[in-house]
Structure 1
Amino acid sequence: MAKAKKDIPKDDFEVFLKKVGNKIRKLRIAKGYSNYEHFAYDHDIARAQYGKYEQGKDDLRLGSLYKVLKSLDISFEEFFSDDF
């Protein structure tokens, strides 16, 4: 049975969010966007919220992660591959 978010140690979850944010940032830069605000604007993602995702400061809902990964042209499988 999967643990609810509240059962995951806060430090572990914060580390996970930072890893997700760092990977999103690297992929954005690889797509040629040096500025996260331009990327978010071009892909109809709230700029302030997207900035928090990259910083690992906010929890991404599954729908939000889907939209970000779709904008980066990457699948969930590729995103969470071995180098994650």
Structure 2
Amino acid sequence: MKVEYSKDEVLKKLGERIKELRISKGYTSYEYFAYEHNISRAQFGRYERGEDLRFSTLARIISAFDMTFEEFFSKGFEEKQP
């Protein structure tokens, strides 16, 4: 059976994962994390809220967390139940 995610569901999961990782790295403020990693603070806040982002930006964020794509997607993206 094919399971489909809506764009909003995927973006929400991305935002939650980004926020979770930022906090786990000890950053209570998304603005400070963004500033330290040369990412637009306003945009980073939007990403955490589940707004759309470019793939290249996602790659940059994952790199800022010093992770691989596999590590990033290993949590929070479990298979959806039909």
Normalised TM-score (structure 1)? 0.81
Distance of 1:83 and 1:67 partners within structure 2: 19
Map of 2:18 onto structure 1: 24
Change in Cα spacing, 1:83 to 1:21, as seen in structure 2 (3 Å) is closer
Structure 1 letter corresponding to 2:61 = V
> Whose helix fraction is larger, Structure 1's or Structure 2's?
1
Mapping of 1:56-75 within 5 angstroms?
56-57=50-51, 59-75=52-68
Normalised TM-score (structure 2)? 0.83
Distance of 1:82 and 1:32 partners within structure 2: 18
Change in Cα spacing, 1:18 to 1:41, as seen in structure 2 (3 Å) is same
Unmatched tracts of structure 1, length 5 or more: 1-8
- 8 Å CA contact 2:16–2:48 kept in 1: the answer is yes
User: Does residue 54 of structure 1 match 2:48?
Assistant: yes
Map of 2:72 onto structure 1: 79
Does 1 or 2 have the higher relative contact order (CA < 8 Å, sep 6+)?
2
Aligned pairs, number? 74
User: Does residue 14 of structure 1 match 2:8?
Assistant: yes
Moved over 2 A (4+): none
Distance of 2:31 and 2:38 partners within structure 1: 10
